[in-house]
Amino acid sequence: MTPDLLKRLQTVDTPTVCNAIEVAQGKRGFANFTRQTLLASDLNATALVGYARTAQIAAKVPSGDDPAVVRQRRMDYYRYMAEAPSPSIVVIEDLDGDDAVGAYWGEINTTVHKGFGLSGVVTNGVMRDLGDLPTGFPVLAGRIGPSHAFVRVESFDTPVTVFGMEVAPGDLIHADRHGALVIPESVIPVLADAIERLLKTEQLVLQPARSEPFDFAAFEQAWAAFEAART
């Protein structure tokens, strides 16, 4: 990912990138995106773009591991996050799934991860401390809750799944209040051009629809041009 592509991706929303991937691939059917609603800690945040640093957590019941093992795994996890390349996004799978109850993302963890230089987080798990989260570190979470329960890191630097989105460490992620997706490596070199082509094609309908007069005849003409141009 070039600096120019990073800047461009930060200016467009995730639905645009989702469509642009299909433009780049020349077909419909791209499917590696989240399938359930994510809650955004900051609705006005710019898009999250970065390489995935992955982990799995659990919180519903106490760990069966030796406490010393849990503590060491936690510190190894933090070291892994602290050594992330820039830009990077945390992608956390809560293994408790629909029973997720322990908030890993509150004031302390968001502040620590922001301090490490990470850009934000995508998780199917829980967030809290909404009034105290640091600015510039968006959290996209599956739910909001008050407790940390028995939350702990179970693994890190491993493939994870968040609401149907399959993520490997190092995958390029784009996310915002609409959800998140993995950008296929094969489209990265042509993605900027695909975004421009997509936006230009959309104007074939948007410009006439925003102009006066606009009636069915104008729509029919605009839609024909749009259909001929789109993927």
Q: How do residues 199-211 score in pLDDT, each as one tens digit?
A: 999 999 999 999 9
pLDDT tens digits, one per residue of 138-177: 999 999 999 999 999 999 999 999 999 999 999 999 999 9
> Who contacts 198 (Cβ-Cβ below 8 Å, separation ≥6)?
16, 19, 20, 23
Q: Retrieve residue 210's tokens.
A: 């925003």
In Å, how far are 63, 120, 156, 223, 226 from 153, measured between CA atoms? 10, 18, 8, 51, 48
166, amino acid identity:
E
pLDDT for 187:
97
Question: What CATH number is given for 31-183 in this structure?
Answer: 3.50.30.40
Give the angle subtended at the CA of 123 by the CAs of 64 and 199, to the nearest 5°.
Answer: 160
pTM of the model: 0.94
pLDDT for 230:
80
Q: Distance (Å, rounded) from C-alpha 28 to C-alpha 20?
A: 10
Tens-digit pLDDT string for the chain (231 aa): 899 999 999 999 999 999 999 999 999 999 999 999 999 999 999 999 999 999 999 999 999 999 999 999 999 999 999 999 999 999 999 999 999 999 999 999 999 999 999 999 999 999 999 999 999 999 999 999 999 999 999 999 999 999 999 999 999 999 999 999 999 999 999 999 999 999 999 999 999 999 999 999 999 999 999 999 886
Displacement of CA 73 from its chain's centroid (Å): 25
pLDDT for 32:
98
Q: Where in the chain is CATH 3.50.30.40?
A: 31-183
* Cα dihedral 184→187→192→196 (10° resolution): -100
198, amino acid identity:
L
